[in-house]
Structure 1
Amino acid sequence: MSSLVRLAVSDCPDYPFVAFDAPVKLDQNESPFDFPEDLKRLVVEKWFLLSWNRYPELMAESVRRSLALYEQWIEAGTLITTGSNVLIALITQMSGIGRHVVTVKPNFALYSLDAKLLGCQLTEVPLGLNFELDLNGFMRVLEQYSEMGGVVYLPQPHAPTGHLMDKDGLEHLLKSYPNWVVVLDEAYHQFAQENLISWLNVYPNLILLRTFSKAWGLAGLRLGYALGQSSLIQQLKKLVPPFPLSCPQSITLQVALEHSDYVSERVSLIIAERERLFQALQHHSSWTAYPSKANFLLIRTPDAKEAHEVLLKQGVLVRRQDSYFGLEGCIRVSVGTPEQNDRFLTAALRIRAASV
């Protein structure tokens, strides 16, 4: 079997995720709110009228046009696929193979996993004590491989910490290293109330990644997109197989874009609940909750395994993060509905009471 599979693939671990279930599911940074029921009905009606025996549009042209209009960006600089995870692999194929991929650690696992699978050279620069970007350390790596170039992956805000990286530092990287494709993963940007689209007019080496899985409440549809200058996005488009979106995906996204008011309302509620959770956890005797600009909180505990198990026994599912570099003892909790958050806080306080 070893001769049938590239060493880079056989040596690479599986994506690190173990599925659990619980009445209060706060482990995957999903929206706690389902897609609005009236919009679901509208999607089903439109889907029913469609001819199922026909292929969808070659490159999802109609919905791409609507998305570009929504983002107030050029259509030729907009690319949509089945999840931003797919785009990470495609960008690495485009600009990382035979070159270098640079990111930080801890980080979203797929940046490094895809780089390893594709046989790229990979460097992970540790974050600082407060999860800040070590700009000087990062620049040293980019200087070392400046002739080769490659891809930089940085989430803004950062996952899994929720930390918002310094914008001046990010701009410095974009200005100083034009031969590197800099990917800012904005999966959680709505919760940071930040929009970097104006940077696309200035930096031809910048790609913004966005998703419909978080703020839009469409994780089950698998929809993500890239924004950049047309010269770069049109090259990336060559790697996207024909018919990237199914008809149900395109119809649902079209309906969502035409009725997008629900998103901002839900984001405001999630931000308010995030801050309520953070403030409540400041009174925990043995846990440390870190400030977040995403839809989750990172919490350092004396024992992540114990915290996860005790919460799960009380019907609350969170995500262990203690296998990541620098996150010993950490768990991550997604912001849920007010009722779900109350159940989490009640369970968390019981852990405190049991430990004192």
Structure 2
Amino acid sequence: MTSVPPPSVAQPPGDADRIDQPLGAVRAEVRATPAYPFTPIHAPFKLDQNESALDFPLTLRKLALERMMERDWNRYPDLHAETLQARIGEYENWSPAGVVVTPGSNVLIKLLTEMGGIGQRLLTVQPTFSVYELEAQMLGANVTRVPLRPDFGLDVEGLKRELAEGGPGVLSLIQPHAPTGFLDTESDLRAVVDAAGDDWIVVIDEAYHQYSGSNCRALVLERPNRVSLRTFSKAWGLAGLRLGYALAGTDLAANLQKLVSAFNVNALTQAVAEVALEHPGYVRARAEAVVWERERVLRELSGLKRLHAYPSRANFFLLLTPDAEYAHRFLLERGLLVRRQDKLPMLGGCLRVSIGTKEQNDLLIGAVLELDAE
């Protein structure tokens, strides 16, 4: 018969005690890197993550569901999403051998850092999309950040100086920029990219290109060490699908593909993406509508006295306020959830606001004008 000791008797360490002890086997770079800075908040009007305000069209959802029902769910999907590589290649007029598909372009950011950043350099700008720096820090890359100009454009000379210091490594640029929405001139972008020569993997993140009318395909095609990142999460209205892709030369794509896990795009995601690629007209129409709404919102907010709405070429804009914490709470109390950016370099007092539906944007305009008048 086993006796149970009284509560006052000390017990040997159990699992609960052990899991609270320091994890010496976890690399110091991982332990020192903060988690992705996002805390979900529920609100009636969600304008905080640069998603499409409109869902995947209902008619296409029905087609996708029908296609999903026809698939064998008990079988593995394509090894490397070959079907989608071919469909994306056809849509982009790009060789399928130069297309790499993953569950979200953030996965590609991680893999490109693994391919060219570990033990080497990551050169980027600040402020920028935080995932670039977080992945580089966790993987032990040597991160160099060049501040943007006061107007949020590339500091061409500053970047050229850093590039001249030498690689190898990864140069990451976003067009248009996130979180500022600024689109560089073609001459500025080319000056930086050309200065990278052959020692760097040049990453041009084009997640928001449908809203800016820009396209860096020609620039990528000029050199085998350049790559464009694109996503289904924004203009395609499929953020919940988690699908992104890279356009690159065949040699770079082949090496990048080595880092992609096998069967990484599931059959259900593939079915939805196939339907979307067969009906791309809705993307163009919605992007045009977002641009029209973006310009309307910025026009309505052009006369602000205490606040300032920055121009943008993306599906979001920055709102400069005297107190970002107060402004965030003020808008949230009116059902409008936006994203604080005031902890980032150069963005003190700033909120990032996604463009929503016309009704949501009308509520936003009214709330911002009310805040400005306080």
TM-score, structure 2 as length reference = 0.93
Partners of 1:256 and 1:132 lie apart in 2 by 33
Give a deviation string over 1:37-81, Cα, whole Å, max 9, x none.
011111111111211110001111111101000000111111110
For residue 82 of structure 2, what is the amino acid of its counterpart? E
Report what 1:162 is aligned to. 181
Q: Name the counterpart of 1:150.
A: 169
Identify which of 30, 37, 53 aligns with 1:32.
Answer: 53
Which residue is 2:86 aligned to?
A: 65
- Corresponding position: 1:86 with 2:107: yes
* Corresponding residue of 2:162: 141
Q: 1:219 aligns with which of 231, 239, 257?
A: 239
User: Cα offset for 1:24?
Assistant: 1.0
Counterpart of 1:336 in structure 2 is: 356
1:108-131 Cα distance to aligned partner (Å, 9 max, x none)? 000000000000100111111111
Map 1:201-212; keep pairs closer than 5 Å: 201-212=221-232
Verify the 8 A CA contact 1:133 1:166 in the aligned structure 2.
no
Aligned-residue Cα RMSD (Å) equals 0.9
- 1:229 aligns to what? 249
1:1-356 equivalent positions in 2, closer than 5 A: 1-144=22-165, 146=166, 148-177=167-196, 178-353=198-373, 355=374
- Matches of 2:101 and 2:281, distance apart in 1: 21
Decide whether the 8 Å contact of 2:163 with 2:195 is kept in 1.
Answer: no
Q: Which runs of 5+ in 1 are unaligned?
A: none
Whether the aligned pair in 2 keeps the contact of 1:79 and 1:233 (CA below 8 Å) is yes
Deviation at 1:201, TM superposition (A): 2.4
> TM-score normalised to the size of structure 1?
0.97
Measure, in 2, the Cα distance between the counterparts of 1:133 and 1:260: 32
Equivalent position amino acid for 1:345 in 2: I
Aligned length: 352
Alpha-carbon distance in 1 for matches of 2:220, 2:164: 23
Deviant stretches of 4+, over 3 Å: none
Deviations 1:206-258 (A, max 9, x none): 11000000000000000000001111111100000101100111000000000
Identity %: 47
- Specify the SS of the correspondent of 2:326: helix
2: distance between equivalents of 1:74 and 1:244?
21
Provide, for residues 70-106 of structure 1, a one-character-per-residue CA deviation record: whole Å limited to 9, x for no partner: 0001111111100000000000000111110010000
Greater mean alpha carbon deviation, residues 42-51 or residues 255-264: 42-51
C-alpha separation in 2, matches of 1:276 and 1:103: 32
Amino acid at match of 1:82: P
Structure-2 separation of matches of 1:201 and 1:84: 19
CA distance in 1, matches of 2:368, 2:191: 41
> Structure 2: where are the runs of 5+ without partners?
1-21
Q: Once the two structures are superposed, what CA deviation does each residue of 1:170-196 show, in whole Å capped at 9, x if it has no partner? A: 222332222111101000000001112
Of residues 193-202 and 90-99 in structure 1, the stretch that sits farther from structure 2 once superposed is: 193-202
Contact map agreement 2:320 2:349 (CA 8 A) in 1:
yes
Code of the residue aligned with 1:215 in structure 2: it is A
Q: Distance in 2 between matches of 1:53 and 1:319?
A: 40
